[in-house]
Amino acid sequence: MWSHLRDNSQTLLFLIPSTIAIAGLLWRTIKRYPSIIIMQSTKENDFLINQCPSFAQYRPTPWIFSGHLMTILGVFFRPLPTLSFERILLKVDNTGGTIAMDWHSRPYHRQPILLILHGLTGGSDNEYVRWMILAASKKFNLCCVVSHARGCGKSKLTTAKSFCAANTDDVRASVKYIRSIIGEETPIFAIGYSLGAGILTKYLGEEGTQCSIQGAIICCASFNMHLSTSNLEQWLNTRVYNRSLTNNLIRYLQRHEEHFIKPDSNINFDLSHAYQSKTVREFDKRVIVPIFGFRDVEHYYTEASSNKWLKYIRIPTLVLSAIDDPICPIDGLPVEDVLQNP
């Protein structure tokens, strides 16, 4: 009898948590999460929201039940679409700096353009970039072009100046280049992800009423770099994300090492010390700060934070952020500035 009871107890111990887990998954499948929409309630804005039913609510994939899983599984298990590109190397300054522009196709007359800015050390070979190109080109007939940060997307760094979250000059050069091809009457739209989203936000704010882009999407931006970097330094985030991002930055530096060891590079930092960086903050302090002449890493993060530029944007812009984003928290979003911007 005791043996039978023990076996039944073990079965119950297995069934109870399993049942709870299955019930939880079913609940997440059925449950819909309302979206938090921050905007001025104008006729134009209300009309746009009504035309986008996906904004109303969100139903998560039941077995991907956290922001961490969504982030990790999206990187490792999302298939990579096969696409071809025509690469143009664009000179962006008088010192020989260049960036790679990857055209998915050449635009025909008056075809709208979608300019895509990738995330940290990313490029046109990233899954999220390619899926956006597929959707934009097939569903909306947009001509897509990816603007790479210097030395990214398997492109060659041509000077000792890398990319920087506070620098919008290369985006400005990209837009000017596109305009030289399509003219002034063809619309340009832009979407930025993570690092690219922050740079795009700052660029749009700097341009204000003179902006040459007709509409933009800001996806997962770090609006406050101080908060985002501190968030990356939490125990779990340090071990899951911070180290990975830092290693990507170190590999970037190693690929282009030749430019930083030249006697005439005018770069004053210790390369071996930079390779020992364990966090993004350490890398920024040892590499980005000296390259771009910031006083210190706090000065850099203040200049790179795009939150102060949102109120100056004067084109239709959609900002998308996940509340449970483990890398770019939404806490830095200046809600009042968004509400004041029509």
Note the pLDDT of residue 71: 63
Q: How confident is the model at residue 47 (pLDDT cuts 50, 70, 90)?
A: confident
Note the pLDDT of residue 183: 94
Residues 6 or more apart in contact with residue 328 via CB below 8 angstroms: 194, 220, 221, 222, 228, 321
Amino acid at 339: L
Question: In 3D, which of 174, 171, 188, 162 has the Cα closest to residue 88?
Answer: 174
pLDDT of 8 strictly over 60: no
Note the pLDDT of residue 286: 97
Note the pLDDT of residue 61: 67
Note the pLDDT of residue 291: 94
Note the pLDDT of residue 120: 94
Q: Rounded to whole angstroms, how far apart are CA atoms 33 and 323?
A: 11
Q: Which residue has the higher pLDDT, 36 or 224?
A: 224
DSSP notation for 324-336:
T-SSS-GGG--HH
pLDDT tens for residues 105-157?
Answer: 999 999 999 999 999 999 999 999 999 999 999 999 999 999 999 999 999 99
pLDDT tens for residues 307-340?
Answer: 999 999 999 999 988 887 777 888 888 888 888 7
pTM greater than 0.95: no
The lowest-confidence range among 49-53, 122-126, 188-192, 204-208 is 49-53
Mark out the alpha helices in the chain (DSSP H runs). 2-30, 43-50, 67-76, 127-140, 169-182, 195-207, 225-232, 235-237, 243-255, 271-275, 280-283, 289-292, 297-304, 335-340
pLDDT tens for residues 212-265?
Answer: 999 999 999 999 999 999 998 988 878 888 999 999 999 999 999 998 887 666
Coil, strand, or helix at residue 98?
strand
Q: How confident is the model at residue 104 (pLDDT cuts 50, 70, 90)?
A: very high
Mean pLDDT for 15-39 is 59
**Mean pLDDT score of the chain, rounded to an integer?**
86
Note the pLDDT of residue 119: 95
pLDDT of 6 strictly over 50: no
pLDDT tens for residues 160-181?
Answer: 999 999 999 999 999 999 999 9
Residue found by looking up tokens 């995330």 in the block = 119
Q: Which residue has the higher pLDDT, 267 or 295?
A: 295
pLDDT tens for residues 48-77?
Answer: 888 887 776 666 666 665 566 666 666 666
Contact 196, 119 (CB under 8 A): yes
Note the pLDDT of residue 316: 92
pLDDT of 275 strictly over 90: yes
